[in-house]
Amino acid sequence: MSKSKLSNLRVSRFELRRRATKKSEYIAFEILRDIVAQGLKPKDKLPLESEMLTRYEVSRSSLREALRLLEVQGLITIRPGPGAGTLVGNVDPANLSSTLMLYLYMTQAKLEDLLDAWLMVEPLLARLAAQRSDRKVVEELMAPFLEDGDGDNRDFGSGLGFHDVVAELAGNQVLTLMLGAIGYLVTDQVRLAMPDASLSDDTLEAHYELAQAIMDGEADKAQQLMYQHVEQVIAEIREMVPARMERSLVLGRS
């Protein structure tokens, strides 16, 4: 096959994989462009519906569908009733994880697959967090986990909080969002499988040691400790719910 034919084949396959963009999606993109261009922050108000209808030159139904698309993604918040309005939302890995979960469910991904992915990505985030050049930010975000080293807080959500901060410290928006979403999915799936799960002594100790290594800027050590920590957590999950490991992920949130 000639190079030109091969190139055309690749383009045609790419085009086949892309569905047509709906009008409401175009409007959603325009709203996001305006949010970014105007430097709007979370909880800032967007224009009234009447103003947006004029601004984007669309029907009311298309505008409302666009707003619903953004609301589902957590990028805006729509408040009904007194004080009604549309507010800018947060860019949160938790919201991205909801969309990712739909795709994983359709592919019949298993809990084992999710945990394997988590094991691969978390050590990288720990390494990047330890290498963060702004050491003041690192110390500020890691210090609370050193103070909690006595193990008072065993809520499973606090474990997610630690990994969320590590992802934030990685300093790469793409990695923070994509890999942070995986961390949220792990927490959700474990909570659904083990509603009464709490952080073990090993996990609390690992968080303490990791926080110290990241704060000290020891990238190699932080990466190794994170790998060992995630391996240990996966072993605990496998021991408590062995039958769940090879089953498909569960839709829903804990």
Pairwise CA distance, residues 116 & 114, whole Å? 5
Class (C level, CATH) for 3-88: mainly alpha
Residue 2 pLDDT: 59
pLDDT digits (tens, 9 = 90+) for 164-193: 899 999 988 888 888 888 988 988 888 888
Higher pLDDT, 71 or 13: 71
DSSP character string of 183-212: HHHHHHHHHHH-TT-B--HHHHHHHHHHHH
Residue listed under structure tokens 């290594």:
213
Calculate mean pLDDT across residues 89-108: 92
Higher pLDDT, 198 or 116: 116
Residue listed under structure tokens 């002594």:
201
| pTM given for the model | 0.78
Residue 150 pLDDT: 47
Average pLDDT value for the chain: 87
Q: Exposed (0-12), middle (13-18) or buried (19+): which is 52, by Cβ within 10 Å?
A: buried
Long-range contact set of residues 243-247: C-beta below 8 Å, sequence gap at least 24: 244/111, 244/193, 245/110, 245/111, 245/112, 245/115, 246/110, 246/111, 246/112, 247/110, 247/111
Percent of the chain residues topping a pLDDT of 70: 87
Q: Tell me which residue of 101, 109, 82 sits closest to 182, measured CA to CA.
A: 101
* CA-based R_g, the chain, Å: 22
Instruction: Kindly indicate the confidence band of residue 35, based on its pLDDT and cuts at 50, 70 and 90.
Output: very high
What amino acid occupies position 18? Answer: R
Instruction: Kindly indicate the confidence band of residue 200, based on its pLDDT and cuts at 50, 70 and 90.
Output: confident
Every domain range in the chain assigned CATH 1.20.120.530:
93-244
**Residue 13 predicted with pLDDT over 60:** no
Every domain range in the chain assigned CATH 1.10.10.10:
3-88
Residue 164 pLDDT: 87
Pairwise CA distance, residues 252 & 254, whole Å? 7
Pairwise CA distance, residues 222 & 123, whole Å? 7
Please count the other Cβ atoms lying within 10 Å of the Cβ belonging to residue 246: 10
pLDDT digits (tens, 9 = 90+) for 207-252: 999 999 999 999 999 999 999 999 999 998 888 888 888 888 988 7
Residue 166 pLDDT: 93
Q: Look at the chain and count its residues.
A: 254
Is residue 149 within 8 A of residue 208, CB to CB? The reply is yes
Residue 235 pLDDT: 92
Instruction: Kindly indicate the confidence band of residue 5, based on its pLDDT and cuts at 50, 70 and 90.
Output: low
One CATH from 1.20.120.530, 3.40.1190.20, 3.40.47.10, 1.20.120.160 for 93-244: 1.20.120.530
